Structure 1
Amino acid sequence: MHATSAAVAVAATFVWLGMVLAISFLEAPLKFRAPDVTVRIGLGIGRLVFRALNRVEAVLATVVVAAVAGGDPPVAVAVLAAIPVVLLAVQLTAVRPVLNRRSDRVMAGKEVPRSHAHLVYVACESAKAVTLLVLGTVTLHG
Structure 2
Amino acid sequence: MAVVAGVVFTWLGMVLAISFLETPLKFRAPDVTLRVGLGIGRIVFRALNTAEALFAAVLAVTLVVADVPGRVLAPVVAAVAVLVLQLAAIRPVLNRRSDRVLAGDDPPRSTAHLGYVATEVVKVVLLVLAGVLTLSSW
Q: TM-score range by the shorter chain?
A: over 0.9
Distance, in Å, in 2 between the alignment partners of 1:83 and 1:68 is 13
Q: Tell me by how many angstroms 1:117 deviates.
A: 0.3
Aligned to 1:99: 94
Q: Tell me by how many angstroms 1:69 deviates.
A: 2.4
Q: 1:29 aligns with which of 11, 24, 29?
A: 24
Q: 2:54 aligns with which of 52, 59, 65?
A: 59
Q: Give the number of equivalent residue pairs.
A: 137
Amino acid at match of 1:57: E
Q: Secondary structure at the match of 1:34?
A: coil
Aligned to 2:134: 139
Deviation digits for residues 46-86 of structure 1, max 9, x if unmatched? 00000000000000111122222222222221111101100
For structure 1, the residue ranges without an aligned partner over 5 or more in a row are: 1-5
After the TM superposition, which segments of 4 or more aligned residues of structure 1 sit over 3 Å from their partners? Answer: none
Distance, in Å, in 2 between the alignment partners of 1:22 and 1:69 is 29
Q: 1:9 aligns with which of 4, 24, 44?
A: 4
Aligned to 2:68: 73
Aligned to 1:86: 81
Distance, in Å, in 1 between the alignment partners of 2:70 and 2:36 is 45
Amino acid at match of 1:95: I
Distance, in Å, in 2 between the alignment partners of 1:111 and 1:11 is 42
User: Does residue 124 of structure 1 match 2:119?
Assistant: yes
Amino acid at match of 1:27: E
Distance, in Å, in 1 between the alignment partners of 2:123 and 2:16 is 10
TM-score, structure 2 as length reference: 0.96
Distance, in Å, in 2 between the alignment partners of 1:30 and 1:9 is 30
Q: 1:44 aligns with which of 29, 39, 44?
A: 39
43-52 vs 64-73, greater mean Cα deviation:
64-73
Distance, in Å, in 1 between the alignment partners of 2:86 and 2:32 is 26
Q: Secondary structure at the match of 1:30?
A: helix
Distance, in Å, in 1 between the alignment partners of 2:34 and 2:61 is 39
Aligned to 1:3: none
Work out the percentage of aligned pairs sharing the same amino acid. 58
